[in-house]
A and B are shown apart, each in its own frame.
Chain A
Amino acid sequence: MRRIEAILANLFGVIFLGLAAVVTIETLSRKLFNFSLQGADELGGYALAVGSTLAFSLALIGRNHIRVDVFHELLPRRVKAALNWLSIVLLAAMAILFVAVSLRVLQESLEYRSTAQTPWATPLIYPQSAWYAGLVIFMLVAVGFAARATWLLAKRRIDELNEAFHPRSSKEELRQEIEDYRQRSGAEPKERP
């Protein structure tokens, strides 16, 4: 899982750093030399389409998809477990729904040979295929998690289920930030007064 997570995150980062570079060059050349490469906007759209689906998976793995935890904390552990299970199953159902209905977008692009309404006239099927692949990865991750949660529930391993699928609290997020800060300031170059 860690490997997959790292690969997805790096891919995501490279997409957006690359986009930042292209857009910076485009903006500068447009303003300074009055020369536009065009299509940076279009590229941004595709970067988001692919990047966001990768990000869905990464947020899922990191348990970042927001859940309100104010009342959750007060519930008995069995009810908590039921809600935790329900949440991941519903997320998986949502991912399946996205994949199922989005297939239509691809079919239509193929059928009508749709191209983007831009100077490039990119055949839409290319970016859409990459986007769809991202959605499928999201679905696979979500279904995998839902299966694990279901298995834990079936085996009555309630505490393990709650441990693995409880809503992420601000405390956890805080601990991570403080940890990161310590590392940063530990590695601080010697120029501090």
Chain B
Amino acid sequence: MIVSATLVAFALMLAMMLIGIPIAVAMLIVGMGGGVIAYGMPFINSVASVIWGVQNESLLTAIPMFVLLGELLLRSGIADRMYLALSAWLARLPGGLLHTNIGCCALFAATSGSSVATAATIGTVALPSLHQRGYSMRHALGTLAAGGTLGILIPPSVNLIIYGSLTNNSIGKLFIAGLIPGVLLTLLFMAYIFATHVGRDAGLVQPEAEVPLAQRLRLLVHLVPPLIVFGVVMGSLYFGIATATESAALGVSIALVFAWRSGRLSLAMLQTCFHQTARISGMILLIITTAFILNLTISLTGVADALTKWVTSFGLTAISLLFALIVFYLILGMFMDVLSMQVATIPLTYPIVTALGVDPIWFGVFIVLMCELGMITPPVGMNLFVVHGIRPDKGDIRDAIWGALPYALMMILFTILLIFAPQIVTWLPERM
């Protein structure tokens, strides 16, 4: 009974989301509706303390802080200059500038959380020169769309903070856990480009000229600020010097110094950062607030237990459940954006999966990988639209979709690899 009621409520919530009701409202309606049906009016009183509790949670302060950090590095142009440095170093590999796209996206990801900003910035710099030099648009768009997704896996990642706060897991551990898979996935993408381009660069109109070593070394200067910020944030987390919020605050302070040194720190720049940070965090925090209200209903009514018993009654093993979840998230990701997908499903899938013995930190990385996949699967792949929107020639969106397809397949295979070799994720955080 409770299981079917839950499934109906979940379907109702998805339906409301898909017709375009604001995500936060859809979650609130289901959360409040369920709570009031089960407990009557007294439930409303407990909602008040949830609202204050969530918004006074110093853990979640990490969200606006990391968003602000990313904005500062982006708007001060620090992130833009990384492209120059990386293209000088990576462009001579088979596949040339395509490697720069992936590498740059990964580095960008290490400093900023916004995939739109990542793809827009790198795409605007890269696509015209890729086009001019005769790279296939399909390949170029695919690398940018796929590279842009790395941002939510490679820490700092707002999506990992959201997972951690919804499931009560250490943000620090989640960040550290995202590191090795993030780097491996980046290398996997680059290996694919290498393999598909080795010996075929002859078709290029204008192959890369070799940049003299002296100049290449000079360009490395541009990598220093992002690497220092990343090093301080991750280092302070790894060695237990700072909490997630504190490490973000350290990052913000350092980013301010670099922005000032680059001569780009101005009142107008700061105001743009404030505006963007407030809008993005306001959107995220409102959804999180309602997600916690929904969570309260779920935990009070024992829905999670009932659902877990129901699912385990099929005698599924953890591995077969995870495979089923890959399919589930693949389909959901075709229609929903990443954040909504996360908050709508984690409260239900997390208890089931952990009851079957899956490591909670590992599952966080799994969820984020599924979200990444959702960003490049049609019809609603955010990154597909973004890279399509900046391409210099007039082409079809199908180029972006086909270009990104190999990367989507690699992500699925990579996830399957993680299922059979979970140590890739859990090894590093266990050493903290």
Q: List A residues at the B interface (Cβ < 8 Å).
A: 5-6, 8-10, 12-13, 16-17, 19-21, 23-24, 26-27, 31, 40-42, 44-49, 51-60, 62, 64-72, 83-84, 86-87, 90-91, 94, 97-98, 101-105, 127-128, 131, 167, 170-171, 173-175, 177-178, 180-182, 184-185, 187-189, 192-193
Chain A proximity mask over B25-62: 1 for CB below 8 Å, otherwise 0: 10011001000000000001101110110011110110
A146-B275 Cα distance, complex, nearest whole Å: 23
- Decide: B271 and A105 in contact? CB cutoff 8 A: no
- Decide: B250 and A27 in contact? CB cutoff 8 A: yes
Contact A189 B263, CB 8 Å, known A53-B55, A55-B281, A69-B20: yes
Say yes or no: is B335 at the interface (Cβ < 8 Å to chain A).
yes
Give the chain A neighbours of B280 by CB distance below 8 A.
Answer: 59, 64
Give the chain B neighbours of A87 by CB distance below 8 A.
Answer: 20-22, 25
Give the chain B neighbours of A104 by CB distance below 8 A.
Answer: 45, 48
CB-CB nearest in chain B for A5: B275
List B residues 295-351 near A (Cβ within 8 Å).
335-337, 339-340
A54-B80 Cα distance, complex, nearest whole Å: 30
List B residues 95-131 near A (Cβ within 8 Å).
116-117, 120-121, 124
Chain B interface extent, by class: 35 or more
A83-B107 Cα distance, complex, nearest whole Å: 40
A167 nearest CB across to chain B (Å): 6
A171-B397 Cα distance, complex, nearest whole Å: 13
A53-B282 Cα distance, complex, nearest whole Å: 7
A23-B285 Cα distance, complex, nearest whole Å: 21
- Decide: B58 and A48 in contact? CB cutoff 8 A: yes
A12-B289 Cα distance, complex, nearest whole Å: 18
- Decide: B386 and A185 in contact? CB cutoff 8 A: no
Give the chain A neighbours of B243 by CB distance below 8 A.
Answer: 41
Q: List 14 A-B contacts (CB under 8 A).
A: A24-B252, A26-B246, A47-B61, A48-B58, A58-B279, A68-B337, A68-B340, A71-B18, A87-B21, A94-B24, A105-B52, A131-B56, A180-B272, A193-B219
Say yes or no: is B166 at the interface (Cβ < 8 Å to chain A).
no
A24 nearest CB across to chain B (Å): 4
Task: Say which residue of B29, B58, B287, B336 sits within 8 Å of A44 (CB atoms).
Answer: B58
B113 nearest CB across to chain A (Å): 14
Say yes or no: is B188 at the interface (Cβ < 8 Å to chain A).
no
Give the chain A neighbours of B196 by CB distance below 8 A.
Answer: none
Give the chain B neighbours of A10 by CB distance below 8 A.
Answer: 271, 274
Task: Say which residue of B22, B51, B56, B215 sits within 8 Å of A193 (CB atoms).
Answer: B215
Give the chain B neighbours of A69 by CB distance below 8 A.
Answer: 20
Contact A192 B283, CB 8 Å, known A87-B22, A105-B48: no
Residue of B32, B117, B283, B389 ringed by the most chain A CB atoms within 10 A: B283
- Decide: B275 and A70 in contact? CB cutoff 8 A: no
CB-CB nearest in chain A for B121: A181
CB-CB nearest in chain B for A80: B20
A61-B81 Cα distance, complex, nearest whole Å: 32
The B contact surface, by secondary structure, is: helix
Give the chain B neighbours of A174 by CB distance below 8 A.
Answer: 116, 120, 385-386, 389-390
- Decide: B57 and A189 in contact? CB cutoff 8 A: no
- Decide: A48 and B60 in contact? CB cutoff 8 A: yes
A91-B290 Cα distance, complex, nearest whole Å: 12
Task: Say which residue of B23, B45, B252, B273 sits within 8 Å of A67 (CB atoms).
Answer: B23
- Decide: A24 and B250 in contact? CB cutoff 8 A: yes
A192-B87 Cα distance, complex, nearest whole Å: 14
- Decide: B337 and A55 in contact? CB cutoff 8 A: no
A72-B279 Cα distance, complex, nearest whole Å: 22
Give the chain A neighbours of B415 by CB distance below 8 A.
Answer: none
- Decide: A59 and B55 in contact? CB cutoff 8 A: no
- Decide: A66 and B337 in contact? CB cutoff 8 A: yes
Q: List B residues at the A interface (Cβ < 8 Å).
A: 17-25, 28-29, 32, 44-45, 47-49, 51-52, 55-58, 60-61, 64-65, 68, 75, 77, 80, 84, 116-117, 120-121, 124, 215, 218-219, 236, 241-243, 245-246, 248-250, 252-253, 256, 262-264, 270-275, 277-283, 285-287, 289-290, 335-337, 339-340, 379-380, 382, 385-386, 389-390
Give the chain A neighbours of B215 by CB distance below 8 A.
Answer: 193
- Decide: A67 and B55 in contact? CB cutoff 8 A: no
A76 nearest CB across to chain B (Å): 13
CB-CB nearest in chain A for B29: A90
- Decide: A102 and B58 in contact? CB cutoff 8 A: no
CB-CB nearest in chain B for A86: B21
- Decide: B249 and A70 in contact? CB cutoff 8 A: no
Given contacts A6-B271, A27-B250, A71-B20, 20 further A-B contacts (CB under 8 A): A9-B274, A16-B65, A16-B277, A24-B249, A46-B56, A47-B61, A48-B56, A48-B61, A62-B275, A64-B282, A67-B22, A83-B20, A87-B22, A91-B24, A94-B25, A97-B32, A170-B382, A178-B390, A180-B75, A192-B84
Give the chain A neighbours of B275 by CB distance below 8 A.
Answer: 5, 9, 58, 62
- Decide: A102 and B48 in contact? CB cutoff 8 A: yes
A124 nearest CB across to chain B (Å): 9
- Decide: B283 and A64 in contact? CB cutoff 8 A: yes
A55-B287 Cα distance, complex, nearest whole Å: 12
- Decide: A83 and B21 in contact? CB cutoff 8 A: yes
CB-CB nearest in chain A for B270: A13
